[in-house]
Amino acid sequence: MRKILLTTILLHLITGCKTDTKKQDHQEIGFEDFFVKSTDGVQVFVREFQTGAQDQISEYPLILIHGGGPGAITSFDLDVPNGSFAKDLVKEGIKVYLMNIRGWEKSTLPTYNLSDSTIVVGNYKEATQDIGSVVEFIREKDNVDKVSLFGWATGGHWGGSYAAQNSDKLAGFVSLNSLYGTNAPWELKHFFWQGSDSTKFNKTGFFRISDKEGLIRKWTSTIPIENKQNWRDSLVMEAYRATAVSFGEDTTTMKVPGGYREESFYMSNGRKYWDASSITCPSLILRTDLDFWSRPQDLVAIEKDLRNTKRKRIKTIKGTHYVFLDRDERGRKELIDEMVHFLKEQ
């Protein structure tokens, strides 16, 4: 672990750090960027947020994990007013990190043999290893025995896999709008099945590629009012899609590992890549009522399996799949309040 930490510090010195010097609510929030060595020679991007505030609601840091679409900077730290979920959590007294799974934004990918059609690029085992590397880095860096995880959508799948194996290293696990392994209707299923066999995934490639319009199409269609600006700040929306496509060689599209789609398809049919009965740390499982990714049945199934946790809360809140990027009164404040209440009890 010390070798990993030294490597990380060296990479940090080489790449430098960034500081946000803008004032937000009279509180200056800066950040530093790191690269943590994971398995397969992967370098995982990590951002640590810093604040001068002395009062923390929990002694344990919180790691934010993105979903299968845009990465963690795009999802949680847009450089526009009200665009940083991470900084708003910091202002609540939470020590926050965000991380990118291999292949997202600034995190690297190993070399795959893409002539092997069975390879799942960015699979849950790889993501679990990346999360583990970051957890160990933070535990040593901050001199803490535990951290907390927040996973959005596929990030909840990845975080759940880690929690099922490493609950002793977690002060808490939070999942938002995530699928769980139970057989139930899923509106996206028909996009992914084989025409000749609806029980099998139709693998057309190893990566997901989306243009700017594709990145916000479902977000827009699920907002239940005509004037989308009253629900979602257009400045935040524009920053979201512009940032998402800014990390690759082609700055008109976002390209990320596509393995999460295959795993999500099979989870929707009932496959369990991990079992929530193995999770013993406190858990907060949330779903928004307008979500298109997770299903109400996922909450029922995971609540049933979370029988060995020290504490659990399962709740449906108001909002879209992208609730942390919507306006406060459209579910964002409720999400933050739920998280603050949960983390305070650690």
> Where do the H-state alpha helices sit in the chain?
2-15, 72-76, 85-91, 124-141, 154-166, 189-192, 212-222, 234-244, 259-268, 296-305, 332-344
* Rounded Cα distance, 200 and 335, in Å: 35
Q: Where are the domains of the chain?
A: 2-344
Q: Is 0.85 topped by the overall pTM?
A: yes
Rounded (10°) CA dihedral 154, 85, 217, 80 = -140
Our CA angle for 183, 338, 305, nearest 5°, is 30
- 291-345 pLDDT per residue, tens: 999 999 999 999 999 999 989 999 999 999 999 999 999 999 999 999 999 999 9
210 contacts 253 by C-beta, under 8 angstroms: yes
CA distances 212 to 195, 246, 324, Å, are 28, 11, 19
The confidence score (pLDDT) of residue 53 equals 58
- 156-178 pLDDT per residue, tens: 999 999 999 999 999 999 999 99
Our CA angle for 304, 307, 310, nearest 5°, is 135
CATH domain 2-344 topology? Rossmann fold (3.40.50)
* Residue with more model confidence, 15 or 127: 127
Assess whether pLDDT exceeds 80 at residue 208. Answer: yes
